[in-house]
Amino acid sequence: MREYRVSELTGNEILAKPVCLDNGSVILEIGTALKVSYKESLTSLNIQKIYAEDPFEKYEKVNLYFKPDVFLKFENDLKAILSQHIYKEHSGLRKLENLVRELVNVFEMTKEDRALDIKDRTSDMYEHTIYISLLVMLLGKEYGFSRKRMENAVLGCLLHDLGYRYIDINYKGYSWDDLNYSQLHELKKHTVLGYTALENEVWIPEISKLMVLSHHERLDGSGYPLRQKNNQKECRMIQICDAFDCAVSGMESSKKTIIQAFDLISDKEKFESRMEKILERKIGFYPAGTVVKTEEGKKAVVISQTENAQAPIILYTGGMKENHFVTENLNRKKAPKITNII
Ligand SMILES: [Fe+2]
Ligand SMILES: [Fe+2]
């Protein structure tokens, strides 16, 4: 399934989700073959996006580092632990120690050289938290973190947005760009609230607590809540990974492309440049399923990452016949370059 802008429909796409009006009434059922003539009527009904079947999805080999079912299990385990948590009732939170060990174990066992695919993201906090743990582990590995240091960093990641549980505003699916001053002020409290809830917990290392408090701070002291310039690597790691993942997931911000998110974190005043360069090497610029154009003017869809985050394997879609398609690994000399995303 892929999200299509109504304006890019070319006809014959098969609906993968029904098209509904604001009042919930279904105007087009799943399985409907779309016609070009529908574009105008959908636009006049203020429907800009639809979900249609993606004929190339079956060729994709997505790299999430963890297998999809393992990734989902981590998300569900985290949700089960955090959703039962009540302010200052911490016995249940200690279950996170097991989750931390599992996450680091699976990460250490994963032999994956391809760049990470960041695809089909939602603004779900638990999904966001597992991605941040993964990104911080990628950085920790490059910085030669010991097992203990890695576990402490991952614990900080799992707890970092805990404070959202103590505020009334629904954090899910919002963009900070749409909030008024007092709502924004309320949401920004999640850092302090998370930290004070955990402050006296002796089983949580100081560095993990500090990651919770400082994950929205910036190198130049322009962040919040304390406008601190943190020197600890773990704090700087969670700051850059959180900013990146918020951008690509649409959590706390409007949803951005991978390239726009890299633009955001390449600000040397705010984020550590070495960390940004590592993430650029580790995260695929063009996630599986991205429709691209090569410098030869050919249209293709990305089906797999390679070791080079900017040179994936693509499948040419132009003139494709049943069971006859051409793929090309762009991670080799003389291979064409991608010029833009379509
Ligand atoms: Fe946050
Ligand atoms: Fe976050």
- Give domain limits for the chain: 2-53, 59-282, 291-341
What residue type is 209 in one-letter code?
K
CA–centroid distance, residue 260 to ligand 1 (Å): 20
What residue type is 246 in one-letter code?
C
Range ranked top by mean pLDDT from 65-74, 78-87, 142-151: 142-151
On the question of pLDDT at 173 being above 70, the answer is no
What residue type is 59 in one-letter code?
Y
Range ranked top by mean pLDDT from 177-181, 303-307, 320-324: 303-307
Backbone angles phi, psi at 236, to 5 degrees: -65, -35
DSSP codes joined into one string, 256-282:
--HHHHHHHHT-TTTS-HHHHHHHHHH
pLDDT at 300: 94
On the question of pLDDT at 235 being above 90, the answer is yes
As a whole number of angstroms, the distance between CA 6 and CA 46 comes to 10
Average pLDDT, the chain: 91
CA–centroid distance, residue 297 to ligand 1 (Å): 41
The correct CATH number of 59-282 out of 1.10.3210.10, 1.20.1250.20, 2.40.128.280, 1.20.120.1200 is 1.10.3210.10
As a whole number of angstroms, the distance between CA 197 and CA 98 comes to 20
**Contact 12/34 with Cβ under 8 angstroms?**
yes
pLDDT tens digits, residue range 300-321?
A: 999 999 999 999 999 998 765 5
Q: Which ligand is nearest to the CA of 187?
A: 1
As a whole number of angstroms, the distance between CA 173 and CA 189 comes to 18
pLDDT at 3: 78
- Our measurement of the distance from residue 133's CA atom to the centroid of its chain's CA atoms, rounded to an integer in Å, reads 11
On the question of pLDDT at 112 being above 80, the answer is yes
pLDDT at 252: 82
> Residue with structure tokens 């690597």?
233
Q: Which ligand is nearest to the CA of 164?
A: 1
pLDDT at 174: 61
CA–centroid distance, residue 186 to ligand 1 (Å): 12
As a whole number of angstroms, the distance between CA 91 and CA 94 comes to 6
Three-state secondary-structure class, residue 138: helix
2-53 and 59-282 have identical folds = no
Beta strands in the chain (DSSP E): 2-5, 19-20, 26-28, 49-52, 291-294, 299-304, 313-321, 324-329, 338-341
Q: Residue 127 — pLDDT band, cuts 50, 70, 90?
A: very high
CA–centroid distance, residue 129 to ligand 2 (Å): 7
CA–centroid distance, residue 33 to ligand 1 (Å): 41
pLDDT tens digits, residue range 236-286?
A: 999 999 999 999 998 888 889 999 999 999 999 999 999 999 999 999 999
Q: Residue 185 — pLDDT band, cuts 50, 70, 90?
A: confident
CA–centroid distance, residue 241 to ligand 2 (Å): 9
The CATH number of 2-53 is 3.90.105.10
CA–centroid distance, residue 191 to ligand 2 (Å): 10
Tell me what the mean pLDDT of segment 126-143 comes to. 97
CA–centroid distance, residue 119 to ligand 1 (Å): 21
CA–centroid distance, residue 162 to ligand 1 (Å): 8
CA–centroid distance, residue 25 to ligand 1 (Å): 36
Query: pTM (2 decimals)?
Result: 0.88
What's the half-sphere exposure (Cβ side, CA atoms, 13 Å) at 290?
Answer: 27
